[in-house]
A and B are shown apart, each in its own frame.
Chain A
Amino acid sequence: MSDDSAPERDAAGRFVKPHTPDPDTPGNDSTHPAAQAIFGWVSHPRTPALLLAAVIALTLILVMMDGLVAGPGEVGFDTLTGFHALVGFATILAVAFAAWPLGALLRRSPDYYGDTDTVPGDTAEHVEGGQ
């Protein structure tokens, strides 16, 4: 019987931390080989902050371009500088804020209708006999 729980030691015999694969690092065993090439940048710690800064900067650039490339507009008031940016920003805020009271009003337990068995019979577990 092998001892799976035996502590790991280095060449000098010192105890070392056991190696556990980090699921957040693309390229480890459970990660698809193409994930690093396509989405490797996503898992970088600075990505969220950089992405947010880039998106805000791009919004401002587009609003400024709106002033430079003044089109005829479609309904009149849409020629106001930054109109579409305002609508896009405000809509998502409105939808998100409306979701809080609506969720409290309309959300019930998952088995409210007794529909707990919603996994269809043609998933990999059924078709291939599990992963």
Chain B
Amino acid sequence: MKNIVQHELKSNWKPFLYWTLGLAVLVLAGFVKFLGFDASTGADVSALMAQFPKVFLAMFGMAGLDIQSLPGYYAVLENFVLLLTSVYAIQLGANAVSRESIDKTYEFIFTKPRTRNTILAAKVLAALLFLTVFSVLNFAFSHIALPIYKIQNTISTQIFYFSFANYIVGVFFLSLSVFLSTLFARAETGIKVGNYAFMGFYVLAIIYDMLESPKLIQLLSPMRYFTAHDILASLFSWTHLLIALLVSALAMQFAFVNFRKKDLSAV
């Protein structure tokens, strides 16, 4: 088990590096705009934004946020990080299930004296580790970015909540992707359906932002389990955390059952 985890970490660190690079660029460079906008304009921008149709704002994750304030601006930035985290999580999940089939090395690993469950568990564990480090880095970069631009850090709580929330949503997408990948015979189909699911959930999140935050849609929309509105008020929805983890656990459970019976073949 330990060998497999180690091997997985070693062979997947490259994509991790690229994704982290994207994250670093997004978070570290992301605050540049905040400066520009803070100095040159008055309070009018907020008034102007308020007049825009909600959908326009929702598409950029700006609905109901005052992007002239540091917490509001950070919330918009983290909404983009959420998209990045979700897509990376989907790739991690699909990779854990399908990589050996794609590389045509499945006969090699699945004839080792370890059960399929053990092997998949090790792979999922490695994927979760990458996601965890990715989220910790999100937290770290956010803390580093503020002093770089000489912005007073008044949002420590929010930074923690946003990073943690994005991590949980990431875990959800990772589990979903693992489940979807065990469902389809072709590896390609698994990741494709995963991407569709991502798009569907994204649209659902926009719809949620557009309609005055309906509870029922929120339940179906993991990207809005931890809303900027809540986090800015230093609230963290533990109920949604529980639901997200429960659904993830369920997806994993089904994934392992599927995987045990899956007819493994090349691609």
Q: A and B bound?
A: no
B residues bordering A, Cβ < 8 Å?
none
